[in-house]
Amino acid sequence: MFDKLLKQAEHANNEERLKIGVQIITRIFGIEAFAGIASYILGLFLGKITNSVEVEIISICFLIPMFTLWFFLIADKKEKESGEVCYDEKGNDEKVNDENDYSVVSGYGTMPHFSSMYREYQIKHILSKHSFHPFIRPNGKKSGIIRVSEDDKWVCIFGAYYPIDLICGYNKTKNEIYAIDGTIIKLPIRCKLRSASTGIEEFFEDRGFYYKSMPGKAEVRFEAALDRPRKDLSRADWGMVRYQWEKAIAGSSNKDGKIGDDFFERVLTDAEIARVVRAIGKGDVSLSYYTDFEKYQNEFSVCNGIRLISVIGKQAKYDEMDFLFKCLEDVDETYFLMAVEVLKKSPRTKVQVKLEEKARIAYEEYDVQELGGLLYLAKVIGYDIQYVKKIKEAQEKGDLSSNAALEFEVDEKELLGSDYVQRFSPYAYQYKKVE
């Protein structure tokens, strides 16, 4: 009956092992106490029936080990029947929750659950190529247990790394994280500490809407969004998989019909977007309210704004072009390609003017990431950005004026990779061994 606790102790620190030891001792003393009380009562009863003190004493001495063994067997059987977890030879949880058919895995290790997608050298490569900074809590202080990668794609909690796009929720009481593939990740005992659980909760709240229990049919919707064998998840565009998953789940938490701040926190259904369009048409709210980029809590909710502009039509694409170009500043995000598709259908002259304006700013500010997005859009619509063209010509001739921005090389092929941005997306870690 102590298999689970002993398995946890193998991966725990000294503080956690002490707590586990206390739990084991408490259970043993509890069972012994129940056995002693039951034996005394039954022995006393037998002694009175036989009117013999000797029978009473012998009965108690004989019954104590019998009741102890019986209680231990009952406790062990109940734990196994509860279906909480069981372990494989490597110490990974793999029991399936019979009620909801969700996989339950252990939160111990460098990369809980998701490490099965990679080989050891690939995990080392992933972690070595990312730099992490402490998560900034709402009070402005740095978290001592949570670190986030500079590209905002990985989070480290007590030394365990999780891909942010593939985790969708957290339950503080149950001490578990939810993955979009329908897996429940049981966190280490130390994550129950108040400082730790509060920090994890703040991290999820900072990203907008999150689930506090596993969404229904999460695994089925994940399989549909992935649209490839699960073993190939490491090659997939995680951001797009998460977006499609969110879209399939959308609406389940909005039963009162009100949208409100949900627009900035989670992916909406087409019906919900249509309700917002009607509200704008009636004059209840302005479109500009939804095109304030800073209001959006995560990259997936930004897609709501792009979809809204697309549905409203040509005038919206013209008036809210700044928002669409803001979405081009990070080619790694899910909303990037969506914004490109809308801009392709926007007034061409206006798009060209914006391309020239934004390219100049990106060049002068050395923002290669944004410039890459602008070059991609220009290539898609078949336009040469004149500012970039002139800079290249000047660099080739070597006659840049002293007042010009310092030159730097922009390798379009390296930035864009191909006609599909997904191919160089950090979501898709390719199987290439690093020497």
Q: What is the pLDDT of residues 245-297, one digit of tens each?
A: 988 887 555 545 567 788 998 899 888 999 999 999 898 999 999 999 999 99
Taking the C-alpha atoms of residue 323 and residue 308, their distance in angstroms, rounded to an integer, is 12
Q: What is the pLDDT of residues 105-163, one digit of tens each?
A: 888 888 888 877 766 677 777 778 888 999 999 999 999 999 999 888 899 999 899 99
- Order of all β-strands in the sheet with 154-157: 132-136, 142-149, 154-157, 160-163
Q: What local confidence, expressed as pLDDT, does residue 4 receive?
A: 63
Taking the C-alpha atoms of residue 67 and residue 110, their distance in angstroms, rounded to an integer, is 43
Residue type, 129: K
Helix (H, G, I), strand (E, B) or coil at 399: coil
Q: What residues pair up with 146 in beta bridges, in sequence order?
A: 157
Report field, pTM of the whole predicted structure over 0.75: no
C-beta separation of 359 from 352 below 8 A:
no
Tokens in use for 30? 């509890």
Helix (H) or strand (E) holding 176: strand 176-179
Q: Give the position of tokens 């004026």.
A: 401
Residue 177 has pLDDT above 70, yes or no: yes
